[in-house]
Every structure is written in structure tokens, then in C-alpha cells.
Chains A and B, each alone.
Chain A
Amino acid sequence: MARDNKSLNRRDVLKATGAVGTAGLAGLAGCTGGGDDSGGGGGGGGDDEYPALGNYPIEGDTATFGFNVPQSGPYASEGEDELRAYELAVKHLNEGGGWVDSQFDDLSGDGVLGYTIDHVDGDTATDADQARQSASGMIQRDDAIMISGGSSSAVAIAVQGLCQNEKVMFMCCLTHSNDTTGTDCVRYSFREMFNAYMTGQALAPVVRDAYGEDLQFYQLYADYSWGQTQQASMEQFMTDVAGWEQVESVATPLGTSDYSTYLSGAQSSGADVLILNHYGLDGANSMQQAIDAGIDEEMEIIVPLYNRPMAEAAGGAIEGIYGTVAWDSQIDNTPSQEFTQAFRDEYDRTPSGPAQLAYAQTLQYAAAVERAGTFYPPEVIRQLEDYEYDNIGMGAETMRGCDHQAQRDVPVVQGLPASEQSEGTYFNIVNITSRDDLGYACDAGPAAECELGSYE
């Protein structure tokens, strides 16, 4: 075990490449040259104006993206759809097509900055630990220059923390917790998806108009961070905006399969509205059981965040139930239709909300690289911060610089009855709540607790 302490932090010795100026924090990421033994040589496309950082500069003429999605576990079907969208995005980046041709002027359809885009994928298993392992393999072994993925906030938060340390960019896919761009926000991560806070803001006026004012509501929530922030946001906005009154808010353990005792508590409370803050399989279970118990006949039910596996599992039980979704193929504008069409042409199926997020985030990153003229992460980050765009089918948006949270519209939907559901179509879009009615200032709400950390 050699223990000579002569010059600390000089990792240059390892990597035969010269021109490496800085050392320090970024050490771990850059040094492992993957499977290939050639240290020097390569050199890439020749933008050497920036110091080495994370996996920059890219060796060779291929830039690798890492797609870290749930391929096993309860969100596997969602992850599968995300992966389809990611692969489609890579294909369009290299060969043109889809939004690359029509919506993103920065992109050429001939790679990015002359680099061909390649990708690796990994399984998060909806487990923060596993997701981090998978991401660190992508960063260290496959030299990924950007990581994207998600389907769970805990996973997104864990991976974006890793990416901040490794100085590799992370483009969030589905993550709905306030914390992702709140207390746990990082400089190297950007979120297109809205959060629990905005869901509350978007839903409150819609359900007030639908069900009237002066109602009483009862909440059940999954007892973990997302559930807690979700129920807190619902309480806040149902009280302030809809003018309703909360009877009680009850925590249910994560992964509960039998909600009957909780539901009968809600039923006998005398409240008019039941809000089920559950997601994934929990959401499918609680919703199904609420319907089976006949609660929908006495009370109105609200499910703040829908996803497709949930709708699939609950089937006809979602009829008439209000909620929000990331995106839906029925949204009527050019980018949405183009994406739906491109996805259908490729896979012969309708894309889900997370698929649109995955596709948009990948192209968004690539376009920022083109604008920056380099893969050097701090420059790419600066291109994305406070960037305004209107090309991904959710209206005019701003990627806010202070917390890296997209300021965008939120689609409010209502579940369709079983007879009208078909593959890929489970909801009816009720309202697309404008971003002007949503969000919070940089020094308010979740953003007040956000400290992004350093660029380098």
C-alpha cells in the first residue's frame, strides 16, 4: 500500500492526457477511463477551452447519455415507456425526426456538436440505493455525460445528489415531490415536471367549481415525504383557494394493501370530499377499495397525482375522479401531436406522460449543449437557467434559475369510465391550468429552502 503524500490531488498522473488543469473535488469521476486501456490518443472534437470536469472532455467522438429508469418493481411499466421515449430521442438526435426537425431549432439531427449520441440504460428498481449504484456505474464506467431518469422522488433526489458530487448533469424525468427542487435541489439537476405544491394550486379552483364551496374534506396520505408534502399542499390550497374545511388528515403506512379501516373512518366522518394522496400501486389499491366500499356514492374523491399504471390497475374505478397528470397525448397543440405521432410511428402505441418528459428532457439538454457550444457542464447549466421555451407541448415555460424548476402549465384531468377507456387513453382533460395561476416566488414555498450549490 503506497502511502506517499507528496503531491495530493494530482490525478493527472493517472490519466496520461495532458491539458488537465484542475484537480480537487471532481477527482473520482474523470479518472476511470472505462474498459478501454488507451489513456491518451482520442482527445475528441477539440473544445479544450475549459478545464476537465466530471466526464468532460469527452474522449472519442461519441457522447454517452445514461438512462436510469425503473425496469423492475412497481413502476416497471412506467420505466419501460420512459426508456422507449429516451431511445426515440437518441434516434432523433442522431438521425433527425420528431421535435428535432420541427421544434428545436438548435438541434441539427446529426448528433450533438459533431458527436454521435450513444446511450446506456440501467435499472433503478425504484430503490434509491440501487439507482445510485446504477448511476455511478454509468458515470464511472461508461463515462456518461448526462444522466436522466426517475419515477420516484426519492430516486431522483438520491441520483441528483450523486450527480452534483460527480459533476455530471441530471435531467429529472418524473419526480413530483416539492423537495426535488426545494430542500434537496442541486445545481446539476433540472426538473420539467411540476410538483405537489403546484398540483394543489391547479386542482383547487377546478374542484371548487365542480363541487362548490363550503365543503368539508378528509385526507388519507401515504406516510412518507411525498405523501406528507402532498397532503400539506392539498390542505393549504383546498382551505385557501377552494374555501373548504379539513375534517381530518390520516396517515397510512407506505405499502398498505388493505385500506378498509381508513376508508370507513373517512366514510363515517361526514366529510363531503375524500382526497387520496397515494401514488403507484398504493393509489390503485386505495382508489379501487374506496369505490368497492361505495364511497363514491356519498363523497367526491380526488386523487392529486395520476399515472398510467395506476389508471390501468384501477380500471373503471377512476371514472369522474379529478387529478393531475404530467402530460397527456390528448393535449391539443402541435408539439404534443407531433410527439404522439412520432412515438406511435416508432412503437405503435400511445405515449404516456412520463414518456413526454423523458423525450423533452433529453432534447432540452442536447439543445442547451448546442447553444453553449460545449459539453462543459457549467456552461450547459447556464444555458438552461432562466431559459424560456414553448416547444414541448405545455405552453410557454421558463426553466427558473433560482431553483431549476420549470414554470409551466399543469393539466387537470378526470378519469374516464371503463367503457370509454382504451389503450393509452384513461383521462379526459378538464383544464390546463395556466402557469400564471401557479407557482411561487424564488423566496417562497419550497424554493425558499433551495440552495443550488456550486457550478464547478
Chain B
Amino acid sequence: MSEKDANPSAKDALVGGSLFGRWEKLRGREGTVVGITAILVAVFPYLFARAPVVSGILQGYQSLATLILIWGIFAIGFDLLLGYTGLLSFGHAAFWGGAAYAAGIVAKNVSGDPIVMVVSGTLFAVLLAWVLGFLSLRRGGIYFSILTLAFAQMFYYMAASPLAFLTNGENGLTGVEVGSFLGVIHLESDIPSVGGMLLGTWLYAFVGVFFVGAVAVAYRILNSPYGMVFRAIRENEQRAEFVGLNVWRYKLMAFIISGAFAGIAGSLFTIHGAYVPLQSLFWTESGDIVVMTVLGGAGSMFGPVLGVGLYLYIENIVSTIQALTIPFTDIVLIRDFGFYWHLLLGLVFVVVVWVVPDGLWGILNRLRELAVEFGSKAAERLRSRSKGGGR
């Protein structure tokens, strides 16, 4: 699926000069992708939390919109590793949580400037990824997954107790005071005028800029020769090695890049909550990101973000539905519906993996292909009919 995403020009010949065709040409360009992402990021919180009818149905709220973007950055980075390089890390909580703690500790002891927090958290995650990658990538396949899991759990237990003087142990890192951005803008406050209506808070805008940046960087990497090598490694490691590529080095780099994404996300998570829960280092966090990525579609650029959205939506909104009613009536179908959100999430996951292994993005892709096919067929029919009419 991914090759098609990255390289849509192959289809252009088929579609011809119609509107579709023009769109197909534009679709793959970096500028288009980043631009559309920016627009979606700008409109999303409005639709989710404030728009008249839509938000009433969605039941969203501002801080969840921010959280979805933060996890989205994490998922994009994770997918670089899982979807494109074919390495299943089960220890990304170490980078996410590690960066969150680093950012929080820096905020408490050095400076609460959001930029400083993000930079220090990300640096920490990159260094950690370097070390852990160096150690874990010695083994492949399941051994690699287990090694990353073991290292991450090590960090969890370290933070829980021996390092409790730094991390505040089980209670989580409290008392993090996030300073104002550039010394003037309180991230928690609302943006004035139209910006406020669309984006809501400065915090969202801050995270949104990182999100769009993350998309641009990931897109650039994936469409560069470097990203090609990642995919080559995924498809056939041995062959890549025979071609003369230093597979180990590329894998390490993929691991570090994905660690950096996790680091940015983790630091933003601290800024968002002004608190770091100990659970951010726990293995369930690593599991969550795997589930989100696979749910959305591993090996596609935006799929994992969709996965994040759906996962967090079910976790935070569906779980609060107290009684499931038939729309526009008072007939209760299931009482305490939200109580079963774990089950619902499990079912959704099973169905998606079973029916569409390439995830939610795969569904969208298929719909798009259907539309294109339908469109071109219709165009052809039109053409042949007009030819017939001419005769």
C-alpha cells in the first residue's frame, strides 16, 4: 500500500486529464500533503469541540484534540519503524515516558520554557534510543521486541522506586510548571478572535506546529532514498545487505528517528498535562502505540494518526456514554455502555485486523480506488457514447 502512497504518478496515465487526474498529480507532492495537514489540524478542534451540530454528535473537547495530535506524532514516528522498516519495538514507552520525565524534570529544576522542555525531552529520547537501539538491534524479530520490552520495563521499575527522588515514584511527577512561550504567551490561554474559534488554545497551536512539522519530516524521509532503504530492509533484509547497504546502521537510524518522534510527543505530553504519570513508562503504553498503529494501518503515513484518533476516542468519549440509546429516541439499548469500552476496542481491533489488515487507512484507500475506478469508467463510457453519437 505504501508504495502506492509514495509514488502515485504511476496512476496518472490511467486517469488522464480529468479533475481526478489533476488531483492525483497534486496529491503526492510534499507541499500539498503538508498544506492539507495544516488545514485539517486547524479545523479539527473546531469540528471536534465547538462546531454547532458536529461537536454535539462527536462529544469532543479541546484537551482531547490536543492529546490526539500528541499521540499522532508518536504514532507517525512509531510507524516509521514498524510499518516502513519492519521492526516491531515493544519498548517505545521508554522514549515517550523518558522524554516526558526529562521535560518535566528540566521544567522543575532548570527552565519551564516550553521550547527548552521539548528540546531537552527529545534529546534525552534520542540518546536513549541510540543506546537501546545499539543493544537491542543485535537481535532480530521477536528477540528484538522482547529486548526492547525488557529495557523499557527496566526504566519503569527504575522510575517507580530507585529513582523516586527524581520522578516522585508512583505518584507521578507533580508540580511541573510550564512557563510561557517566548515569555509572553500562556499556552493554556485561548487564542483571540478567529484563531481561537478554530484552534482553541495556544497549546493546541503549539502542538499543531510540531504535528505539521512531524508530518513534513516523516514525508521527506519516506520519499527520500533513505526511506527507500528502510522499505528495502522491511521487504528483504538479506537482499538489502547483498546490495551493499549497511543494514544495521540503517536500522539503528530508523530506531533513533522514531525515538526522536516519540521524544517530541512525550515532551509535549508533559507540557499538555503539567504532570507525568508513572504509567507513561509502563509496557501498556508501548502496547497502546502498537495497537493504534496497526488499527490505523501500519506502513501508511496517516493511517496511524487515524488509529490514534479512534483509539483515544473510544477510550475517552465512548467510555463515558452511560446508556446507549437509539438515536433521537429514549429507548435504551445497552445500559452502562461505556463500561464495555475495552471490549468494544478489542472487537474493533479484531475486526479491522481480520477484514482489512492494512487498517483504517486501507479502508479509505480502497474507497478512493473505487471512486477513481468508477470515475474513469464513467468518463470512458461518456467518451465512447459521444464517439457513437458522432457516427
**CB atoms of A23 and B189 under 8 A apart:** yes
The answer for the CA separation of A184 and B176 in the assembled complex, in Å, is: 11
Digitize B55-70: 1 where CB-to-A-CB distance is under 8 Å, 0 elsewhere.
1100111111001000
Please provide the chain A residues from 1 to 46 with a CB less than 8 Å away from any CB of chain B in the complex.
Answer: 1-11, 13-14, 23-25, 27-28, 31-37
**CB atoms of B55 and A161 under 8 A apart:** no
**CB atoms of B52 and A37 under 8 A apart:** yes
Closest to A6 in B: B192
The answer for the CA separation of A7 and B60 in the assembled complex, in Å, is: 27
If over half of A's interface residues share one DSSP class (helix, strand or loop), that class is named, otherwise mixed; here it is loop
Please give the distance in Å from A421's CB to the nearest CB on chain B: 28
The answer for the CA separation of A141 and B171 in the assembled complex, in Å, is: 26
**CB atoms of B196 and A4 under 8 A apart:** no
A153 contacts B by Cβ under 8 Å? yes
User: Do A1 and B208 form a contact, CB below 8 Å, given A132-B275, A154-B172?
Assistant: yes
Residues of A within 8 A of B191 (CB): 2
Digitize B259-283: 1 where CB-to-A-CB distance is under 8 Å, 0 elsewhere.
0000000000000011101111000
**CB atoms of B193 and A121 under 8 A apart:** no
Q: Number of A interface residues at 8 Å Cβ cutoff, please give it.
A: 61
**CB atoms of A7 and B192 under 8 A apart:** yes
A106 contacts B by Cβ under 8 Å? no
Query: Which one of A220-228, A239-247, A341-349, A439-447 contacts B?
Result: A220-228
A385 contacts B by Cβ under 8 Å? no
**CB atoms of B157 and A253 under 8 A apart:** yes
The answer for the CA separation of A24 and B61 in the assembled complex, in Å, is: 20
A234 contacts B by Cβ under 8 Å? no
**CB atoms of A128 and B189 under 8 A apart:** no
The answer for the CA separation of A5 and B205 in the assembled complex, in Å, is: 13
B186 contacts A by Cβ under 8 Å? yes
**CB atoms of A27 and B201 under 8 A apart:** yes
Digitize A104-137: 1 where CB-to-B-CB distance is under 8 Å, 0 elsewhere.
0000000000000000111100011110111011
**CB atoms of B277 and A127 under 8 A apart:** yes
**CB atoms of B189 and A13 under 8 A apart:** no
Please give the distance in Å from A317's CB to the nearest CB on chain B: 26
Please give the distance in Å from A266's CB to the nearest CB on chain B: 20
Closest to B184 in A: A8
Residues of B within 8 A of A28 (CB): 62-63, 188-190, 201, 203
Query: Which one of B18-26, B312-320, B351-359 contacts A?
Result: B312-320
Digitize A157-175: 1 where CB-to-B-CB distance is under 8 Å, 0 elsewhere.
1100110010000000000
**CB atoms of A13 and B161 under 8 A apart:** no
**CB atoms of B170 and A154 under 8 A apart:** yes
**CB atoms of A71 and B61 under 8 A apart:** no
**CB atoms of A184 and B193 under 8 A apart:** no
The answer for the CA separation of A222 and B246 in the assembled complex, in Å, is: 47
**CB atoms of A13 and B157 under 8 A apart:** no
A177 contacts B by Cβ under 8 Å? yes
Please give the distance in Å from A385's CB to the nearest CB on chain B: 21
Please provide the chain A residues from 46 to 97 with a CB less than 8 Å away from any CB of chain B in the complex.
Answer: 71-72
The answer for the CA separation of A5 and B305 in the assembled complex, in Å, is: 30
**CB atoms of B196 and A133 under 8 A apart:** no
User: Do A128 and B169 form a contact, CB below 8 Å, given A27-B186, A32-B61, A136-B63?
Assistant: no
**CB atoms of A27 and B168 under 8 A apart:** no
B174 contacts A by Cβ under 8 Å? yes
Closest to A141 in B: B61
The answer for the CA separation of A141 and B53 in the assembled complex, in Å, is: 15
Please give the distance in Å from B162's CB to the nearest CB on chain A: 9
The answer for the CA separation of A25 and B188 in the assembled complex, in Å, is: 7
B216 contacts A by Cβ under 8 Å? no
The answer for the CA separation of A439 and B197 in the assembled complex, in Å, is: 50
Residues of A within 8 A of B50 (CB): 32-33
B247 contacts A by Cβ under 8 Å? no
User: Do A223 and B189 form a contact, CB below 8 Å, given A140-B62, A184-B171?
Assistant: no
A215 contacts B by Cβ under 8 Å? no
Digitize B199-224: 1 where CB-to-A-CB distance is under 8 Å, 0 elsewhere.
11101010011000000000000000
**CB atoms of A158 and B275 under 8 A apart:** yes
The answer for the CA separation of A395 and B313 in the assembled complex, in Å, is: 45
- Residue among B170, B316, B320 with the highest chain A CB neighbour number at 10 A: B170
Please provide the chain B residues from 55 to 87 with a CB less than 8 Å away from any CB of chain A in the complex.
Answer: 55-56, 59-64, 67
Q: Name the contact of A129 in the complex, choosing from B200, B203, B277 (C-beta under 8 A).
A: B277
Closest to B180 in A: A8
Residues of B within 8 A of A224 (CB): 160-161, 169-170
A254 contacts B by Cβ under 8 Å? yes
A251 contacts B by Cβ under 8 Å? yes
The answer for the CA separation of A254 and B315 in the assembled complex, in Å, is: 25
Q: Name the contact of B195 in the complex, choosing from A3, A23, A161, A162 (C-beta under 8 A).
A: A3
Residues of B within 8 A of A8 (CB): 184-186, 189, 192
Residues of A within 8 A of B274 (CB): 161, 165
**CB atoms of A129 and B193 under 8 A apart:** no
**CB atoms of A158 and B277 under 8 A apart:** yes
B322 contacts A by Cβ under 8 Å? yes
**CB atoms of A121 and B322 under 8 A apart:** yes
**CB atoms of B67 and A133 under 8 A apart:** yes
User: Do A2 and B317 form a contact, CB below 8 Å, given A137-B61, A165-B274?
Assistant: no
Sample 18 A-B pairs with CB under 8 A, ordered by A number: A2-B199, A3-B205, A8-B184, A8-B185, A9-B186, A11-B189, A14-B197, A23-B189, A28-B63, A28-B203, A123-B341, A133-B64, A140-B49, A158-B275, A162-B275, A225-B171, A226-B170, A228-B161
Partner-B contacts on A (CB < 8 A): 1-11, 13-14, 23-25, 27-28, 31-37, 71-72, 120-123, 127-130, 132-134, 136-137, 140-141, 153-154, 157-158, 161-162, 165, 177, 179, 183-184, 223-226, 228, 251, 253-254
| Extra A-B contacts (8), CB below 8 Å, given A36-B56, A137-B63 | A28-B63, A35-B56, A37-B56, A120-B322, A128-B279, A129-B279, A136-B63, A225-B171
**Closest A-B pairs by Cβ, 7 of them:** A2-B195, A224-B170, A11-B190, A27-B189, A141-B61, A128-B277, A140-B61
